[in-house]
Chain A
Amino acid sequence: MEDIIMKQLIQTLTAAESLLLRKGDSTPKQEMLKVTLMDLLLKQVLMIETTEAQSNSRDPVRTLQKVRRGEAFLRYDALPHELVYLHDFRHSRDLEMSFRDCVRVGFENANSERKLQHAVRLSPALKDSFRQLWIQKIIGGFDYTDVGFSKRLQLEEEIKVWEERIPKLLESNREQAMAELKTLGGNVFLLKGLGIVLLANIENEFFKNIPVPEKSQGCGGCGTFTSYSGDFDGSYPTDSGGSDSSCSGDGGCSSGCGGCGD
């Protein structure tokens, strides 16, 4: 009980930092992106707003989930790896994008897996946890320092305790369990063995304003983001737009175009 109440290492890390600390240089880009976006939504740095939209008058009205700045956006001190999602919102106050686009923007801004791992390693919480030899700077990869290795062991131990404790607590005292889970932030989705139903409950509790998408498919370990996994897993659109006639004859447009409503 005592170790739960005390501030633990896991409570000081973002979910992406926890992942990197656990898996080192084999941490997949996709997983880091998933948990980072979830973390930002939990912290209300970003928010999802449900809107009804109609792409055109021939199509039916559809419900869309738009990502936009959240309440905590302006006061939030972003970590380097979180900028993959926040960069464009920082530059445009009114920007909103579909969840799918937000995922794509994150993928694109993150660049390669190596670069994203590097960005996570820049976090102050992981300072002194990793080292990189000169050859690794060229071919990739990094190692744990002694400090990092002991942090990893500590984190694994903490996660194990949470994984054993939470399912029992959810059965006996759901309210307390939820309160404790909230202290983990996005790390809650790194816990295994909570089960689909419990995860759905946690989702409801955490993401009250986020509707569960119609294509939701439950699976252990991912929670809400499992629902959107298609967006993360899906391949990027290729240039299948066909051949359009060129506009190159429209000389001079770039030097001045005007529009008038009348």
Chain B
Amino acid sequence: MNISMEKIYITKTKMNYKEQKLWDAIREFELDDDEAVYTFSDRLAKENNWSKGFALRAIEEYKKFIFLICTSSQSRTPSDEVDQVWHLHLLYTRSYWNEFCRDVLKREIHHGPTRGGPQEHDKFKNAYAETLQHYRDTFLIEPPPDLWPPDHLSSSPSTFSRLMKTWKTLL
């Protein structure tokens, strides 16, 4: 059973054996503690005003993004949605640094917010476009547009939700 599943993945992606092993390990990594009443994906959905299904899909894309970082010598840029998953995962410090980076990825993946300014803007815009291309080349599918909008800086529903949340807090 496992062998056949592995074969399916290999035919659907463009990975060498080592990359495939890493991707399998990343996929198998559980962000949700299935015994928790309020899981990672529950929190992610609630904080971003997403449906549970969308949150689970965002986590799947986050894992792909991390894989792209691991298989590239260049910096990679996530979409806003994927970035929200990353932000939340960073809050779970033990899970992120020990269990994910140290044990699964065997390396540290640092998160670097923009320093602002037009130069940074262009840098991230280009990096985002390269990330999308890397995604296509690796997974041999188009990134889902609702989680990877073609235009990095376009307003997404999740950005809008966060703005509304901030607005409500201010009121």
Contact = CB atoms under 8 A, between A and B. Distances in A.
Q: Do A and B come from one complex?
A: yes
Interface of A: 49, 51, 53-57, 59, 62, 64, 87-88, 91-98, 100-101, 104-105, 108-109, 209, 237-241, 244, 247-248, 250-262
A258 B80 contact: no
A247 B73 CA distance: 29
Contact of B56 (A105, A250, A261): A105
B14 interface: no
Nearest to B76: A259
A230 to B, nearest CB: 13
Given A240-B37, A254-B159, 11 more contacts: A53-B28, A53-B34, A55-B32, A101-B41, A209-B1, A237-B39, A254-B162, A256-B152, A259-B65, A260-B69, A260-B75
Given A254-B83, A255-B121, A260-B76, A95 B57 contact: yes
Contacts of A97: 56
A250 B80 CA distance: 14
Interface in B71-110: 72-78, 80, 83, 86-87, 91, 94-95, 98-99, 103, 105, 107-110
Contact of A237 (B38, B66, B99, B111): B38
- What 3 A-B pairs come out closest when comparing CB atoms? A256-B124, A256-B114, A88-B53
Contacts of B87: 247, 250, 253
B103 A57 contact: yes
Contact of A94 (B33, B60, B65, B116): B60
Main secondary structure of the interface of B (DSSP, over half): helix
A256 B108 CA distance: 20
Contacts of A57: 98-99, 103
Contacts of A244: 91
Contacts of A92: 57, 60-61, 144
A49 B166 CA distance: 41
Interface in B128-144: 128, 139, 141, 144
Contacts of B166: 248
B53 A109 contact: yes
Contact of A260 (B53, B91, B110, B123): B110
B127 interface: yes
Contacts of B162: 254
Contacts of B65: 259
